[in-house]
């Protein structure tokens, strides 16, 4: 699916150029995450796999006395985050592998991530590292996708392109933490306590404006599992595939010019023993 190496290369570059589209896609989820985070204490906050930095910037703005660090493996995404967050004096971004990152001067009491924890080669080791660097009593809150069948925004274009199901459903990628029991076991073995799963449904915005279907086709050419396949097709095959996706999208409601498709996430919370 998507590995650390993909994020350090083409996938990270595309996301850095497309942050307006990805922030828009996740807007419904972001709002819910920020609501949940607003009731959690946190003075030293780590945003794991921060991407283009929207969540980090929102937290730094809401908590001017807190210190926020966003960390990501993609140098292009970190450059983009630094540019976008330049007005926040309490915000820093670092390009590093979060699975092994430590900073003795930065022990977080709140660790968060909007869909940035799903790409570790060894998730148990990564969550063990987050537990090790967290302060006693520190909180964890992250989002990830629930099962593919609840996420038509990705399953339907994949079906229309005849993409095979991944050989290993637990390989790094969007659905690696879809299974609640498996994720609970990983977190628990890593030392996390009070693990809870909140299911959240939201509209994943793929297109908007005067022609939301064309806008959505541009989205699918850049973002998500079908993007690479579309890129590698010859022009005729790509036009044919995009035509199939366009016909499917045309049947979807475009409320106020916004084309949003069903998406389902977990908001996972946990705590390090105090
Ligand atoms: C689906 S994107 C989410 C980005 C961002 N949190 C957002 O909501 O826009 C996943 C992010 O995780 C980052 N990532 C993947 N593996 C990582 C690792 N080992 N350490 C740090 N970041 C990683 C990617 O570079 C990418 O920015």
| pLDDT, tens only, 46-85 | 999 999 999 999 999 999 999 999 999 999 999 999 999 9
Res. 35: pLDDT tops 90:
yes
Q: Nearest-CA neighbor of 261 among 221, 204, 212?
A: 204
Nearest to 179 by CA among 170, 188, 167: 170
What's the mean per-residue pLDDT of the chain?
A: 95
pLDDT at position 257: 86
Q: How far is CA 224 from CA 25, 106, 180, 186, 242, in A?
A: 11, 33, 22, 25, 14
Note the pLDDT of residue 1.
66
Asked if residue 255 has pLDDT above 80, the reply is no
Q: What is the pLDDT of residue 31?
A: 98
Cα(139)–Cα(187) distance, integer angstroms: 13
Give residue 63's pLDDT.
Answer: 98
261 Cβ contact partners less than 8 Å away, ≥ 6 residues apart: 152, 153, 156, 203, 204, 206, 252
**Per-residue model confidence (pLDDT) at position 167:** 79
Atom of ligand 1 nearest to the CA of 11: 25
pLDDT of residue 264: 98
Average pLDDT rounded to a whole number, residues 117-142: 98
Distance of CA 216 to the CA centre of its chain: 19
Whether 22 is in the pocket of ligand 1, judged by its Cβ within 6 Å, is: yes
Tokens of 103: 């900073």
Q: For 146-192, what is each residue's pLDDT tens digit?
A: 999 999 999 999 999 988 887 787 889 999 999 999 999 999 999 99
* pLDDT at residue 3, rounded to an integer: 87
Contacts of 173 (CB under 8 A, 6+ apart): 1, 2, 118, 119, 166, 225
Q: Is the pLDDT of residue 265 over 80?
A: yes
Which residue from 48, 58, 73 has its CB within 8 A of the most atoms of ligand 1, so it is best to mutate?
73
Listed range (85-89, 182-186, 257-261) with the worst mean pLDDT: 257-261
Q: Which of 224, 84, 85 is nearest to 154 (CA)?
A: 224
What are the residue ranges spanned by the domains of the chain?
4-148+168-205+262-271
Mean pLDDT, range 128-146, rounded to an integer:
98
Task: Answer whether 53 contacts ligand 1 (Cβ < 6 A).
Answer: no
Architecture of domain 4-148+168-205+262-271: 3-Layer(aba) Sandwich (3.40)
Q: Mean pLDDT, to the nearest integer, of 241-265? A: 92
Give the other-Cβ count within 10 Å of 239's Cβ.
10
225 in contact with ligand 1, CB cutoff 6 A: no
Residue 7 structure tokens: 């994020």
Whether the CB of 120 sits within 6 Å of ligand 1: yes
Confidence of residue 240 (pLDDT cuts 50, 70, 90): very high
Report the atom number in ligand 1 closest to the C-alpha of 101.
20
Atom 4 (ligand 1) nearest CA: 51
């Amino acid at each position: 699916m998507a590995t650390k190496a993909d994020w350090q290369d083409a996938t990270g570059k595309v996301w850095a150029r497309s942050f307006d589209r990805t922030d828009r896609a996740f807007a419904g989820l972001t709002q819910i995450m920020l609501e949940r985070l607003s009731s959690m204490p946190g003075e030293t906050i780590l945003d794991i796999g921060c991407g283009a930095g929207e969540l980090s910037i929102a937290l730094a703005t809401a908590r001017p006395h807190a210190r926020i660090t966003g960390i990501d493996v993609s140098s292009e995404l970190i450059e983009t985050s630094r540019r976008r967050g330049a007005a926040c004096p309490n915000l820093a971004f670092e390009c590093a592998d979060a699975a092994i990152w430590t900073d003795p001067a930065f022990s977080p009491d709140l660790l968060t991530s909007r869909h940035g924890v799903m790409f570790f080669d060894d998730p148990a080791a990564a969550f063990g590292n987050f537990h090790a660097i967290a302060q006693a009593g520190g909180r964890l809150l992250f989002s990830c996708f629930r099962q593919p069948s609840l996420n038509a925004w990705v399953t339907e274009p994949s079906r229309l392109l005849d993409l095979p199901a991944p050989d290993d459903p637990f390989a790094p990628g969007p659905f690696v933490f879809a299974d609640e029991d498996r994720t609970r076991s990983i977190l628990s073995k890593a030392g996390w306590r009070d693990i809870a799963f909140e299911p959240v449904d939201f509209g994943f915005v793929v297109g908007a404006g005067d022609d939301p279907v064309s806008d959505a086709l541009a989205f699918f050419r850049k973002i998500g599992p079908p993007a690479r396949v579309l890129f590698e097709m010859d022009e005729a095959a790509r036009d044919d595939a995009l035509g199939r996706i366009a016909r499917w999208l045309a049947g979807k409601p475009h409320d106020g010019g916004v084309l949003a498709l069903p998406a389902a996430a977990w908001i996972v919370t946990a705590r390090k023993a105090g």
